[in-house]
């Protein structure tokens, strides 16, 4: 069986690895438009940006040949003929029995006036990070558009380097859709402790040019305020992840819809990682998750499915972010309007347990790795059994409780 994987990011490389682990013996072709050896994205907005490191490879250079994985760097997939089971790339045509779409996503650009000015950056790829590292050498005032994880991580790095940093966003608080209020409040105060300013509740409407008309000099907000800036980082999510598949006749460009084994509507075509819109194992709602955990676990799931040992995806989502000295780890996904229980000191080390009825839905931990590991086990086990009182009590043996739940019945 010949498998073609489009995109050699976290999901695509793991898919190649897991296909071999599952004993798939035919040709495995990994097509990647970037020229760099496939690399890890999380450090690009964290220590990789601060330290000027080369991107960290996902696998060593020899790994691909050792596993007989044909890595084609600098080759872009341009189209898919699902009837003929062929991919058209910038270098020719590749036939497949099974196709795995793992093309991730691109950073969503700012759509107002001035988006193309010099000094306006995205942060998705190693070359974005390299350009930003250079810009950090000379810039003095940075504005971050968007209060999501990547923008906030960048803000922490830039503020720690002594830049004057302002984060702007339409929403009234940071991480509005992805973190509970206590966690967002602690991360916001962490940024302020680093010297960053948060200008929330007013959307940026225009990037203003300097006297040359070529470089950015400021960001105008809806409120009329003009924030001076010689560096602007746009962190407002991702753009049209599914356009390649949409061009091949798949549904909407906002992602590729798949079933619980990541199969698309087209025979022999699957989609994983950031690109996939899949049924949540919890309630069947169609969701997309952008995380290293999901990229890896969806790849493992699809490899088992291709090898004929498929089972519905049931991975527990987990995620991390590093902002200055604060490390956040999450297990599960916190929904709106949940009952929140705080364990520990919300100004220092703590975790937030989100309950929906009697079920523990998610655990977010700041500087509390033991809570995170126990929380992951509890959420994975279905979230039943733990009471709010136990969660809130720092003396309660959470680890032992989680171990008890996971222990096999005797
Ligand atoms: P990608 O990793 O984006 O890989 C897709 C690949 O496909 C790319 O290499 C791209 O070049 C290639 N490609 C696209 N189109 C084509 C085409 N037409 N032809 C050929 N190749 C193509 N997650 C966490 O869990 N924790 C973190 O701390 C964290 N930090 C992050 C920091 C940054 C700066 C970024 C950008 C992301 C971060 N993430 C983090 C998210 C995580 O990196 C992504 O969820 C993950 O990379 C998704 O993997 P993927 O393989 O689906 O997509």
Q: Tell me the best of 55, 154, 292, 329 to mutate to test the pocket of ligand 1, counting ligand atoms within 8 Å of each CB and taking the most.
A: 292
Tell me the CA distances in angstroms from 189 to 147, 155, 173, 192, 384, one per residue in order.
14, 13, 12, 5, 33
d(CA 283, CA 122): 34
Residue 102 Cα to ligand 1 middle (Å): 9
- Expressed in angstroms and rounded, the spacing between residue 382 Cα and the centre of ligand 1 is 29
C-alpha 317/C-alpha 379 separation (Å) is 9
Give residue-wise pLDDT tens across range 255-303.
Answer: 999 999 999 999 999 999 999 999 999 889 999 999 999 999 999 999 9
pLDDT tens-digit profile of 128-143? 999 999 999 999 999 9
Average pLDDT rounded to a whole number, residues 142-155? 98
Three-class SS state of 21: helix
Question: Looking at ligand 1, which residue's alpha carbon is closest to its atom 27?
Answer: 42
For residue 272, give the ligand 1 atom closest to its CA: 52
Contacts of 410 (CB under 8 A, 6+ apart): none
Best residue among 295, 296, 372 to mutate for probing ligand 1's pocket (most ligand atoms within 8 Å of CB) is: 295
pLDDT > 50? residue 45: yes
Which residue is closest in CA terms to ligand 1's atom 29? 42
User: Strand order in 86-89's β-sheet?
Assistant: 77-81, 86-89, 92-95
**Distance (Å) from CA 165 to ligand 1 centroid:** 26
312-340, pLDDT tens digit by residue? 999 999 999 999 999 999 999 999 999 99
Predicted local distance difference test score (pLDDT) of residue 240: 80
What is residue 47's predicted lDDT score, i.e. its pLDDT? 80
Select the more confidently predicted residue: 49 or 186: 186
| Ligand 1: centre distance to CA 288 (Å) | 13
Q: Of ligand 1's atoms, which has the minimum distance to the CA of residue 292?
A: 25
Output the residue whose Cα is nearest ligand 1's atom 32.
Answer: 42
406 — pLDDT class (breaks 50, 70, 90): low
Residue of 7, 105, 127 with the most ligand 1 atoms within 8 Å of its CB, for mutation? 7
What separation in Å is there between the alpha carbon of 149 and the centre of ligand 1? 14
pLDDT at 2 over 90: yes
Residue range 223-242: mean pLDDT, rounded: 93
Q: Give residue-wise pLDDT tens across range 57-83.
A: 999 999 999 999 999 999 999 999 999
What is the pLDDT confidence band of residue 407, given thresholds at 50, 70 and 90?
A: low
Give CA–CA dist 121/2, Å, rounded. Answer: 39
Test site for ligand 1: of 4, 11, 17, 104, most ligand atoms within 8 A of the Cβ: 104
**Which one of 73, 290, 296, 300 would you pick to mutate in the ligand 1 pocket, going by the greatest count of ligand atoms within 8 A of its CB?**
290
pLDDT at 408: 47
The reported pLDDT for the residue numbered 52 is: 63
Q: How far is the CA of 8 from the centre of ligand 1 (A)?
A: 9
Residue 50 binned pLDDT confidence (cut-offs 50, 70, 90) = confident
Taking CA atoms only, the protein residue closest to ligand 1 atom 15 is 103
Task: Kindly list the protein residues whose Cβ atom lies closer than 6 A to any atom of ligand 1.
Answer: 6-12, 31-34, 41-42, 44-45, 76-77, 102-104, 123-124, 150, 244, 273-275, 290-293, 295, 319-321
Does position 56 have pLDDT exceeding 90, yes or no?
Answer: yes
Q: Which residue would you say has higher pLDDT here, 287 or 47?
A: 287
Residue 409 has pLDDT above 60, yes or no: no
Residue minimizing CA distance to atom 31 of ligand 1: 42
Task: Kindly state the greatest CA–CA separation across the chain.
Answer: 76
Task: Look at 52 and 91; give whichever has higher pLDDT.
Answer: 91
Nearest to 231 by CA among 115, 121, 116, 107: 121
Q: How far apart are CA 214 and CA 118, in angstroms?
A: 6
Counting from 1 in the atom list of ligand 1, the atom nearest the Cα of 273 is 52
> What mean pLDDT is predicted for residues 168-189?
96
Asked if residues 267 and 141 have their Cβ atoms less than 8 Å apart, the reply is: no
């Amino acid at each position: 069986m010949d498998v073609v994987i489009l995109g050699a990011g976290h999901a695509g490389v793991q898919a190649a690895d897991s296909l071999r682990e599952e004993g798939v013996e035919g040709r495995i072709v990994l097509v990647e438009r970037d020229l760099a050896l496939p690399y890890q994205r999380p450090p690009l907005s964290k220590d990789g940006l601060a330290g000027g490191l080369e991107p960290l490879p996902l696998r060593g250079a020899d790994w691909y040949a050792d596993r007989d994985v044909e890595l084609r760097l600098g080759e872009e997939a341009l189209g898919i003929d699902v009837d003929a089971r062929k991919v058209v790339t910038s270098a020719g045509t590749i036939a497949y029995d099974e196709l795995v779409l793992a093309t991730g996503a691109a950073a969503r650009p700012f759509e107002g006036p001035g988006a193309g000015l010099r000094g306006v950056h995205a942060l998705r790829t190693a070359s974005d990070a390299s350009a930003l590292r250079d810009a950090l050498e000379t810039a003095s005032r940075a504005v971050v558009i968007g209060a999501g994880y990547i923008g906030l991580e960048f803000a922490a790095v830039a503020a720690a380097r002594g830049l004057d940093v302002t984060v702007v966003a339409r929403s009234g608080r940071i991480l509005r859709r992805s973190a509970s209020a206590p966690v967002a409040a602690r991360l916001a105060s962490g940024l302020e402790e680093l010297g960053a300013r948060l200008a929330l509740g007013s959307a940026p409407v225009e990037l203003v040019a300097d006297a040359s008309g070529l470089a950015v000099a400021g960001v105008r907000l809806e409120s009329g305020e003009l924030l001076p800036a010689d560096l602007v980082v746009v962190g407002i999510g991702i753009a049209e992840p599914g356009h390649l598949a949409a061009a091949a006749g798949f549904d909407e460009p906002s992602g590729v819809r798949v079933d619980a084994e990541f199969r698309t509507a087209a025979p022999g075509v699957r989609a994983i990682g950031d690109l996939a819109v899949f049924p949540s194992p919890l309630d069947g709602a169609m969701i997309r998750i952008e995380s290293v955990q999901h990229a890896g676990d969806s790849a493992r799931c699809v490899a088992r499915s291709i090898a004929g040992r498929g089972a519905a995806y049931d991975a527990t989502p987990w995620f991390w972010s590093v902002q200055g000295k604060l490390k956040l780890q999450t297990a599960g996904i916190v929904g709106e309007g949940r009952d929140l229980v705080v364990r520990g000191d919300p100004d220092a080390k703590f975790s937030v347990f989100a309950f929906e009825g009697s079920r523990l839905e998610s655990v977010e931990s700041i500087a509390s790795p033991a809570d995170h590991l126990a929380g992951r086990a509890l959420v994975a086990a279905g979230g039943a059994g733990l009471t709010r009182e136990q969660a809130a009590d720092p003396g309660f043996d959470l680890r032992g409780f989680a171990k008890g739940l996971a222990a096999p019945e005797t």
